Amino acid sequence: MTIKVGDRLPSITLVKVTPEGPEQVNTADYFAGKRVALFAVPGAFTPTCSAQHLPGFIAQADAVKAKGVNEIACTSVNDVFVMKAWRQTNNAGEITMLADGNADLAKAVGLTLDGSKFGMGTRSQRYTMLVNDGVVEQLFVEAPGEFKVSSAEHLLSVL
């Protein structure tokens, strides 16, 4: 079942990229007491993710935060080392990278994508959700092959 507005995020362990190295974080703790713009991509270093999705949130980070968002986070079904390299390559220091290497979060929120025909296995669908104190406030899931409603620009238009 797909998560919806008003639902609480399930308690899942992700791995956060930090300057000190990988840090396991539980979603219940990580999202508690703050408003987070979380965007999910099918894969770091993939074309749309690298050319549009991440760069849009980098460019719009200040504007998104000015609308009452405490943090911007990105999740992908990649390991923490790939997420760290992607962050460094894109100078995305203002984006928190949360590795969902086993697709636990993607599965728990019902937003998986079968990338098997591309050799990618189970991945996350492309989406953006606004999470307020662990509860989904807004959710924008892309149709397959699209990049419209999960962009930073779209999020800004509804904040």
Residue 49 falls inside a structural domain: yes
- Per the annotation, the verdict on 74 as an active-site residue is no
Q: How far is CA 98 from CA 1, 6, 38, 59, 72, in A?
A: 22, 22, 10, 19, 11
Q: Which pLDDT value is given to residue 145?
A: 86
Bridge partners of 106, per DSSP, are none
Catalytic site residue from 49, 95, 99, 105: 49
Count how many residues are written for the chain. Answer: 159
Q: What CATH number corresponds to the domain at position 87? A: 3.40.30.10
User: What is the total count of domains within the chain?
Assistant: 1
Reported confidence tier of residue 46, pLDDT bands at 50, 70, 90: confident
Residue 23 falls inside a structural domain: yes
Q: Which pLDDT value is given to residue 154?
A: 96
Predicted TM-score (pTM) of this structure: 0.94
Q: Which pLDDT value is given to residue 81?
A: 95
Bridge partners of 140, per DSSP, are 128
What's the whole-number mean pLDDT along residues 22-43?
96
Q: Residue 67: in which H helix or E strand, if any? A: none
Query: Model confidence over 2-18: pLDDT tens digits?
Result: 999 999 999 999 999 99
Using a 10 angstrom Cβ sphere, with 0-12 exposed, 13-18 middle and 19 or more buried, the burial of residue 51 is exposed
Reply yes or no on whether the pLDDT at 69 is more than 80: yes
